[in-house]
Amino acid sequence: MSLVESVQNIFRVPELRKRIVFTLGLFAIYRLGEHVPSPGVDAASLTAAFSQQAGTLFGLYDIFVGGAFSRATIFALGIMPYISASIVLQVLGAVVPYLEKLRKEGEEGQKKINQLTRYGTVLISLIQSYAYGVFLQSNPGGVAVVPHPGLGFLLTLMITQTTGTIFVMWLGEQITERGIGNGISLIITINIVGRVPTAVQATIESLRTGTLSLFAVLAASALAVAMVAFVVVLTQGTRKIPVQYAKRIVGRRMYGGASTHIPLRVNTAGVIPIIFASSILIIPATIAQFFPQSTVAQFVATNFSPGQNGVWEILYALFIVFFTYFYTAVVLNPNDLAENMRKYGGFVPGIRPGKRTAEYIDRVMTRITLVGAVALALVAIIPDQVFQWMNVILFAGFGGTSVLIVVGVALDTLQQIESHLLMRHYEGFVRKGRIRGRR
């Protein structure tokens, strides 16, 4: 079956068609809001001032919100406060007994966690919008971007940005519930992909003027394709631990005796370690922006910036490995897995249930997490360095972090579409392989 026929099958399923149209409609609303300016800000002057923020925390933030941060629109904070609140609650869930209890209560507990996440989003939005207002009033890059600074401007900006974040969060939840795919992840993906037309236009202009060679573009494109393929393998890679369930007699019926497996993902942490590592290492360059006369601040910013002397890259890789292990330990507990298996009569062949099983799972996780952590570090560092060396504008800002997000979201959305098609006996996009249908 051709790709065209597969796409036609999507629109033959009424429910799937409605979900896709609904999702596209909310995307259009979101993109429209990304171009509505916040009151009291000279957007043109801010865009010029932001040309100096590419290697700072503000530049990284701007990538995830589709350039809205550098234009000071009503969606300048985007969905990032919600992401931050979700990560904080996930981390606290491993150490706070109340949150850990909620995680084990199923759907009702998840509803309470979602409500706490919303409250946390509002709090983080207020804090970040205030810091954003202070940053705008500090005349970034020596450019006055706020004609009338003061308390009134700060309050107006805080209300505007917090309301915008809450609306974006609502859009994401509506997409998840009534659309197709994970709404929050899709919004971040749209922000990243939305920068492609501008990059393509800049690349064509560079080719026309002769400042960029066609060979460099082709070589960078080949590397990008290889990187996407590698990320797909990394995202889908799993280590299957076989599990056997003993036979049980309940009343007059016999249960169990089935064989299954526990799929441990090579990259359980996803893109979170890269985001954590980037946020921490970009802080020195960001702080230096506020102390242009300080020799110490400028020395730290110069020596801890990408592409200077290799120190930043080494620390970046080490932080990625550390946060990969840390976040994997937060979201996946071997003791809980072993206890759940023992409770339902499951065991790993050759391994005693209970503590021995937990130790075995932990040993396997430690080994495959090392592979995933090293792979994440390679994806995060090497493509960016190569693209920067080639000076290819088309892939500027589309490094390992962006590719991991886009590929992960695309695979998840494709799996959901496959499930809808296969339930109604239609052929999907993939005829064979691990992605066909949702396991």
Residue partners of 19: CB distance under 8 A and separation at least 6: 178, 179, 180, 420
**Residues of the chain with pLDDT > 70: what percent?**
81
Whether the pLDDT of residue 141 is over 60: the answer is yes
Q: Provide φ and ψ at 249, rounded to 5°.
A: -110, 115
Q: Give the mean pLDDT of 162-178.
A: 92
Question: Could you read off the pLDDT of 375-416 as tens digits, one per residue?
Answer: 988 888 887 777 777 666 555 556 677 788 888 888 888 888
Region of 164 please: left (phi>0), alpha (psi -120 to 50) or beta. alpha
Question: Could you read off the pLDDT of 172-208 as tens digits, one per residue?
Answer: 999 988 888 888 888 888 888 877 777 777 778 877 8
Given this model, what pLDDT does residue 437 score? 44
**Residues of the chain with pLDDT > 90: what percent?**
13
- H-helix segments, 138-251: 151-178, 183-193, 196-209, 214-236
Given this model, what pLDDT does residue 26 score? 92
Angle between helices 272-281 and 355-390 (to 10 degrees): 60
Given this model, what pLDDT does residue 431 score? 52
Q: How confident is the model at residue 168 (pLDDT cuts 50, 70, 90)?
A: very high
Task: List the domain boundaries for the chain.
Answer: 1-195
Q: Which residue has the higher pLDDT, 263 or 304?
A: 263
Q: Give the mean pLDDT of 274-285.
A: 75
Q: Which residues pair with 347 in a beta bridge?
A: 244
> What is the pTM for the complete model shown?
0.77
In CATH terms, the fold of domain 1-195 is Preprotein translocase SecY subunit (1.10.3370)
Residue partners of 225: CB distance under 8 A and separation at least 6: none
Q: How far apart are CA 179 and CA 182, in angstroms?
A: 9
Given this model, what pLDDT does residue 201 score? 79
Q: How far apart are CA 51 and CA 46, in angstroms?
A: 9
Given this model, what pLDDT does residue 385 score? 74
Residue partners of 212: CB distance under 8 A and separation at least 6: 203, 206, 391, 392, 393
Whether the pLDDT of residue 162 is over 90: the answer is yes
Given this model, what pLDDT does residue 439 score? 42
- Kindly provide the b/e burial profile for residues 39-77, where b requires at least 16 CB atoms within 10 angstroms of the residue's own CB: ebbbeebbeebbeebebbbbbbbbbbbbbbbbbbbbbbb
- How do beta strands 346-347 and 238-245 pair? antiparallel
Question: Could you read off the pLDDT of 313-349 as tens digits, one per residue?
Answer: 888 889 889 989 988 888 888 888 888 888 877 888 8
Q: Provide φ and ψ at 427, rounded to 5°.
A: -75, 135
Question: Could you read off the pLDDT of 208-241 as tens digits, one per residue?
Answer: 887 777 887 788 788 888 888 888 888 888 888 8
Q: What is the mean pLDDT of the chain?
A: 80
CA distances from 430 to 80, 111, 181, 421, 436 (A): 33, 34, 17, 11, 6
Given this model, what pLDDT does residue 369 score? 92
Question: Could you read off the pLDDT of 244-273 as tens digits, one per residue?
Answer: 877 666 666 666 567 788 888 898 888 788
Given this model, what pLDDT does residue 169 score? 92
In this structure, the dihedral spanned by the alpha carbons of residues 202, 208, 214 and 217, taken in order and rounded to 10 degrees, is 0
- How do beta strands 259-265 and 253-255 pair? unpaired
- The residue assigned the tokens 């009569």 is 345
3-class state of residue 343 by DSSP:
helix
Given this model, what pLDDT does residue 438 score? 42
First to last CA, the chain: 22
Nearest to 419 by CA among 15, 105, 8: 15
Which amino acid is located at 439 in the chain? R
Question: Could you read off the pLDDT of 101-125 as tens digits, one per residue?
Answer: 887 777 788 889 889 999 999 999 9
Whether the pLDDT of residue 370 is over 50: the answer is yes
